[in-house]
Chain A
Amino acid sequence: MDDMATMIGGLSGFLDDKDIVTDRDDMAPFLTDWRGIFTGSAQAIVFPRSTEQVSALMAYAQTHNINIVPQGGNTGLVGGAIPDNTGSSVILSLSRMTAIRDFSEANNSMTVEAGCILQELHAYAEERGLYFPLNLAAKGSCTIGGNLATNAGGVNVVRYGNTRDLCLGLEVVLLDGRVMNLLTPLRKDNTGYDLKNLFIGSEGTLGIITAASMKLFALPKARSTALVGVPDIETAVTLLGKLQAASGDSVEAFELMPATLLKVVFKQFPDIPCPLTPLPEFMVLMEIASTNARDGQPNETGQIPIAETMEAFLADGFEAGQISDATLARNDIQRQQLWDIREHSPEATKRESTPVNTDVSVTRSQLQTFYDLAEKEVHKIHPTARVCAYGHLGDGNLHFNLIEADGGDPEWSEKRGALFEAIYWALAMVDGSISAEHGIGQMKVEQLKDVKDPVALDVMTTIKALFDPTGILNPGKVITTQD
């Protein structure tokens, strides 16, 4: 690699000076992840404003053998956007590529640049009467490019699928600077290999996503949101099937939250009101939605159809002993307060403890078995650990997290390693995945080698070598090229 001054000099050949940051303090927020677990160093952060600039940067990086670490909103949870500590990297931030290139009601699609913030895309679509359903608690900061690069999931997967399912086309800049144009909003395009799907979920290790065509949907106009107490996870899974059937398959969200978690949320955020007393051991935040506005307006008998559907479902569950208690949001303020509980969960557990965080998925039918096994193993090792398993139950995706005993635990940091192992042992017993939606990043590289099918790992290595023969594209993430 060339010396730093020369290299920076070279960058300013094709970027505006204000789009290159080298000051230590200015770079700091880009060098630590959201959880504060991973910290790295970099020579510079560059903020290209166009695909052409990304292309020129990449070609330059390849020629000069500079490590490139792509970054969107830096909300990733596995350290994928954080460089290593060698100081040899340049962070390529897409956050200034924010144009919306196309919006089509007829196609139900929009073509947007990688740096667009998710929440702004929600608002943009909604103002035009359409709906972009990808939704996660990081929506105010994460970018669509980062969502694609991690194939993010979130709370609406149960109805609309992962980011992959919402993507029609991509524009990708390869390491040699070539722009691969797969940016079609076509719904059907069986012209050879589906390359876009190679880049979705590749976490910046194969190329830079600069723009994407995304699917849009009819905007929900009526919703019913309930917080429901259930005796156990298995019952919750049964209830999901029932609600899907009862609501015309319109379950938008089905999120598990235990009482342990709610207590932490209310402690850390005292302004959020507690909706159920006493708190049932497990709760599900469930929401059904209809795109027909009339479902949200009182009918001749004075009932709101969508609320009636939810109430009838809850009453059945109550009578069958599958629901112990429940409350329905009677207005948008209460709906928001219920969602606040869920959306403040990552932040609340982070404030309460240094949690043992996982992102596992198992088949819905195995959720209870896994939960019981993991809980038992965890408590064998450390009886005071608080299990705070919450997440996207509808997708079989649990953040089976642990926090230390209330009031602190001197043994916590020493026990963490064994606690992780206990959870992953239970996961292996039910053939689950070590990463449901967050990805591998730098956090799970070694673990991936242990659990992934060896043939698949071998093919992944071959693909990586094809796009990045010298190992300078987000090195040390997902898959290590040499060892």
Chain B
Amino acid sequence: MKILVPVKRVIDYNVKVRVKPDQSGVELANVKMAMNPFDEIAVEQALRIKEAGQADEIVLVSVGPTQSQETIRTGLAMGADRGIHIEADQETEPLSVAKCLKAVVEKEQPGLVLCGKQAIDDDSNQTGQMLSALLGWAQATFASGVELAEGTAAIIREVDGGLEHIAVKMPAVITVDLRLNEPRYASLPNIMKAKKKPIDQMSAADLGVNTTPRLKTVKVEEPAARQAGIKVGSVSELVDKLKNEAKVI
């Protein structure tokens, strides 16, 4: 079986994001970028499935600017086999990404697509679901446990009340949650090998997908700054402030 893992290039999780002065978006120039953390978890899970002998090839696919190749390379260093880069300079939206992925799925014929549950930049949480609908495949979202069996996958999902156990038919689209696994470190030999692994290049247009954005960003704003705390001198002062200033009691 082949596993397809879409990976997105996003701002590094630890970077303090700044809004552009014209409020048209966030500052990306010279900002440290990395693979979307949920996608790393998907790559890790694919590697574990392959190591368990349940898959024989892991293909990474990234839709985005030229630099997305570096993101693919990162996943190849973790142990994935090859990559597909779909060039798209505009900001990508879930639907056009899902359409690109659909085209790749039709060409590559994987038995499983493992995605992150969402990308930490736009937090859309839509691509995996749209892809499954476009393909007419089963979907399992927010997986924190994945067990493959003949023709099915047993999935554990973290829901409000506890853990939900479901079974889906394969082929399926599974989107993964934070607690599924701890992504591995890439070892030096794998980093070196990754440099020689192939990355196929194509454009969205080659796949017949129009990536023109359908959504318009009106404005991006910083969240309101939190006010500094103060120290009160006594309990009565505290009560007074809660009553008359904060008006919460």
Contact = CB atoms under 8 A, between A and B. Distances in A.
B187 A326 contact: yes
A332 B37 CA distance: 11
Interface stretch (B11-19, B93-101, B214-222): B11-19
Interface string B26-39: 00001011110100
Nearest to B15: A332
A328 B195 CA distance: 14
Contact of B67 (A293, A298, A328): A298
B23 interface: no
If over half of A's interface residues share one DSSP class (helix, strand or loop), that class is named, otherwise mixed; here it is mixed
Given A298-B67, A302-B70, A304-B70, A311 B192 contact: yes
If over half of B's interface residues share one DSSP class (helix, strand or loop), that class is named, otherwise mixed; here it is mixed
Interface in B35-49: 35, 37
B188 interface: yes
Contact of A331 (B34, B73, B182, B191): B34
Interface string A296-308: 1110001110000
Contacts, number: 72
A221 interface: yes
A290 to B, nearest CB: 12
Contacts of A333: 13-14, 37
Nearest to B72: A302
Interface residues of B, number: 25
A189 to B, nearest CB: 37
Contacts of A328: 185-186, 188, 191
A22 to B, nearest CB: 21
B152 interface: no
Interface string B183-210: 0011111011000000000000000000
Given A303-B70, A333-B14, A315 B32 contact: no
A314 interface: yes
Contact of A276 (B12, B13, B37, B187): B187
B32 to A, nearest CB: 6
Interface string A309-330: 0010011001000010111111
Given A302-B73, A332-B12, 5 more contacts: A298-B70, A302-B69, A304-B70, A318-B189, A332-B34
| Closest 9 pairs between A and B when the two form their complex, measured CB to CB | A332-B14, A331-B34, A293-B30, A326-B188, A327-B185, A302-B69, A275-B185, A298-B70, A298-B67
18 contacts: A227-B185, A273-B182, A276-B185, A298-B69, A298-B70, A304-B70, A314-B191, A315-B188, A318-B192, A323-B188, A325-B187, A328-B186, A330-B74, A331-B14, A331-B35, A332-B12, A332-B13, A332-B34
